[in-house]
């Protein structure tokens, strides 16, 4: 199989890189031998330590492996292949860094949404998880490793005919991973100033009135932060002082937002790489700015609480619950009437069981507003509805386990034995009983 023929397979096997801003044209490793042919040089030589070009990490690989030094850069930190000829390889290894999450389980769950997971391939231990998937003639085995406040993904990719043969080699490579020089903490860029407002570090590129306005904004929304522990019990996994980047430069904001979430922001957002709130100062006069900014301060807290963005259903449900709780003066059990009337209308026609929400993403939801209302209602149901009290213990256990382990699969086990069909009927009866 030629280099050109293999390229589409390799690009598909590297699913998930686009979310970090990696372009396909940069990833062109050597090709595999022809299907069915037995390539030469399959003996596994003694392992020795290899470092990436920036000396951030170390792995032990067979000594005849080679580094693709010109094809690396964030988030791809290193690429090595096992050459047996100019146009052939036996296997290759990629190392990537995902700064948007602190927990291996969250990184694995995000990856598994777009691949065909091999049954029984999942593994987990303290500080790492592992999974494998098929992609055409390739098998990708990946270990997600928590280190330095981020998650590093080590991928071993080979032909499906040799995946079992080299499983032990892959495991040895994974186990040898060592982060030798973690990236430094997030810091203001040159030309930015830093101020302390309440419990926040505020970074801004503005001057004069722009700085004054930024500080006023953060002081106003700082009150949002104070209510969060009352609405979401327990300490956040990420205990660092929250950061706000209040910026005038639209190009810098777009750069930060695209790197974190893949899209631009109009008014406010969250940079998941350091869980900071992004505020576009030029948009502060917009009628919707206050509501959007308040929502992002809530999102920041959720991201710090779980060490990254949790699964869609609980992220949106908690986010709407926290945002509404702030609007309702810290008393979510007494929701604003007009909003709650709309929410109850969605509850009465709900057709999706809670467990059917577990693996969905925003792309699976045709009506975002109705989804937000329904997921907010589920959280309210567990916290305050009489009909939801029988499920409250499992819900609280799910939330705390997700925070403690960072693994959605482990957290989902807290619902074991739950009759989700009966729960949906109770949910809808609650909607009918509210006036």
Q: Are residues 220 and 282 in the same domain?
A: yes
Q: Are residues 79 and 127 in the same domain?
A: yes
Domain that holds residue 90: 3-179
Q: Assign residue 319 a region (left: φ > 0; alpha: ψ between -120 and 50; beta: otherwise).
A: alpha
Q: Are residues 30 and 125 in the same domain?
A: yes
Q: Given this model, what pLDDT does residue 36 score?
A: 41
Instruction: Give residue-wise pLDDT tens across range 6-20.
Output: 333 443 344 344 343
Instruction: Give residue-wise pLDDT tens across range 342-383.
Output: 999 999 999 999 999 999 989 899 899 999 999 999 999 999
Cβ–Cβ under 8 Å, residues 95 and 68: no
Q: Are residues 411 and 393 in the same domain?
A: yes
Q: Which of 242, 270, 305 finishes a domain?
A: 305
CATH of the domain at 169: 3.40.1000.10
Nearest CA to 305 among 292, 321, 289? 321
pLDDT band at 21; cut points 50, 70, 90: very low
Structure tokens at 107: 């990184």
Q: pLDDT higher for 403 or 262?
A: 403
Q: What is the pTM of this model?
A: 0.86
Q: pLDDT higher for 178 or 231?
A: 178
Cβ–Cβ under 8 Å, residues 213 and 281: yes
Q: Are residues 326 and 298 in the same domain?
A: no
Q: Are residues 130 and 237 in the same domain?
A: no
Q: Which of 129, 163, 179 finishes a domain?
A: 179
Mean pLDDT of 152-156: 96
Q: Given this model, what pLDDT does residue 43 score?
A: 73
Lowest-pLDDT range of 33-37, 94-98, 181-185: 33-37
Q: Given this model, what pLDDT does residue 314 score?
A: 96
Instruction: Give residue-wise pLDDT tens across range 94-115.
Output: 999 999 999 999 999 988 988 8
User: Sheet of 276-280: strands edge to edge?
Assistant: 193-197, 200-204, 243-247, 276-280, 268-271
- How many domains does one find in the chain? 3
Q: Are residues 52 and 155 in the same domain?
A: yes
Q: Are residues 49 and 166 in the same domain?
A: yes
Q: Are residues 301 and 391 in the same domain?
A: no
Q: Given this model, what pLDDT does residue 71 score?
A: 53
Alpha-carbon distance of 408 to 410, in angstroms, equals 6
Cβ–Cβ under 8 Å, residues 157 and 79: no
Q: Given this model, what pLDDT does residue 13 score?
A: 41
Share of the chain above pLDDT 90, in %: 59
């Amino acid at each position: 199989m030629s280099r050109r023929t293999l390229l589409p397979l390799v690009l598909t096997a590297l699913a998930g890189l686009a979310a970090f801003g990696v372009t396909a044209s940069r990833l062109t490793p050597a090709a595999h031998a022809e299907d069915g042919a037995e390539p030469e040089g399959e003996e596994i030589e003694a392992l020795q330590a290899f470092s990436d070009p920036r000396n951030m990490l170390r792995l032990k690989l067979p000594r005849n492996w080679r580094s693709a030094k010109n094809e690396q850069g964030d988030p791809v930190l290193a690429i090595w292949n096992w050459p047996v000829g100019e146009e052939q390889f036996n296997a290759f290894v990629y190392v990537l860094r995902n700064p948007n999450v602190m927990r291996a389980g969250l990184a694995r769950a995000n990856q598994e949404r777009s691949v065909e997971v091999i049954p029984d391939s999942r593994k987990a231990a303290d500080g790492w998880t592992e999974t494998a998937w098929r992609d055409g003639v390739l098998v990708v085995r990946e270990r997600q490793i928590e280190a330095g406040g981020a998650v590093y993904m080590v991928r071993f990719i080979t032909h499906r005919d040799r995946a079992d043969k080299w499983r032990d080699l892959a495991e040895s490579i994974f186990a040898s991973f060592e982060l030798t020089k973690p990236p430094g903490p997030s810091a203001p860029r040159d030309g930015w100033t830093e101020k302390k407002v309440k419990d926040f570090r505020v970074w801004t590129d503005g001057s004069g009135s722009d700085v004054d306005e930024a500080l006023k904004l953060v002081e106003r929304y700082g009150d949002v932060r104070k209510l969060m522990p009352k609405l979401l019990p327990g300490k956040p996994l990420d205990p660092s002082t929250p950061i706000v980047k209040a910026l005038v430069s639209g190009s810098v904001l777009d750069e930060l937002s695209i790197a974190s979430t893949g899209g631009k922001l109009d008014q406010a957002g969250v940079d998941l790489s350091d869980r900071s709130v992004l505020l576009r100062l030029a948009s502060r006069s917009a009628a919707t700015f206050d509501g959007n900014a308040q929502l992002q301060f809530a999102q920041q807290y959720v991201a710090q609480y779980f060490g990254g963005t949790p699964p869609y259903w609980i992220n949106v449900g908690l986010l709407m619950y926290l945002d509404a709780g702030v609007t309702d003066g810290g008393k979510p059990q007494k929701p604003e009437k007009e909003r709650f009337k709309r929410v109850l209308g969605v509850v009465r026609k709900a057709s999706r069981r809670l467990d059917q929400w577990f693996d969905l993403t925003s792309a699976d939801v045709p009506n975002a507003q109705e989804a937000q209302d329904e997921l907010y209602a589920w959280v309210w149901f567990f916290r305050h509805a009489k009909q939801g009290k029988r499920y409250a213990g499992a819900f609280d256990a799910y939330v705390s386990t997700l925070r403690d382990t960072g693994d959605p699969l482990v957290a989902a086990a807290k619902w074991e034995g739950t009759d989700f069909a009966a729960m949906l009927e109770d949910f809808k009866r609650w909607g009918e009983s509210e006036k």
